[in-house]
Amino acid sequence: MKKRRHRRTAETHEAGFLHIDNTVFYDPSLRGKPLLVYLYLWSYCWRDNTCWPARTTIARALGMDSRTVNAAIKYLAQHGYVTLSDYEIRRASGTKHLTKFTMYPPKPRPTTEEKNAIFHAAMSDLSVDELSKMLNTEKVTA
């Protein structure tokens, strides 16, 4: 007996839930409409972090124009949140173009120790004059 594959429909999609790591909300480069599209794409993902929703489906579900969705997807791809793979399915009725979205979680926020290390590494390359200008203070002499 052939095993039937579960087909994701609007009813099964709306009945589920989405578990997202808090780093998504603390990532300063992920805001506004790209964030909405990012969350919507994650809601379609299965175990392998891939999904195939049509851009018109995304636009309709989020109440956005398709150009806005395309701009958000382009932004997500440029910033490494998603990769796109285009596919064609040829049938007797014609060719269908699909985009496979592979999702990536945002990078975790640096810890205070990591921020301090980055700061000290950057400051070690500056002269006292450059550091004073950056900090907008008078030159300190030891």
Q: 57 and 27 in one domain?
A: yes
pLDDT of residue 29: 81
102 lies in the same domain as 120: no
Say whether pLDDT at 5 is over 70.
Answer: no
Tokens of 40: 């919507």
- 83-104 pLDDT, tens per residue? 999 888 788 888 878 889 999 8
Q: Out of 23-37, 107-121, 123-137, pick the least confident.
A: 123-137
Are 71 and 116 part of one and the same domain? no
Q: What percent of the chain has pLDDT over 70?
A: 71
Query: Taking the C-alpha atoms of 84, 56, 47 and 91 in order, what is their torsion angle to the nearest 10 degrees?
Result: -80
Residue 6 pLDDT level (bands cut at 50, 70, 90)? very low
Asked whether 131 and 137 are in contact (CB, 8 A), the reply is no
pLDDT, position 105? 83
65-79, 83-97, 107-121: least confidently modelled range: 107-121
- Regarding whether 54 and 20 lie in a shared domain, the answer is yes
* Shared domain check, 86 and 23: yes
Residue 107 has φ and ψ, to the nearest 5°, of -70, 145
Please state the domain count of the chain: 2
Note whether residue 55 is domain-resident: yes
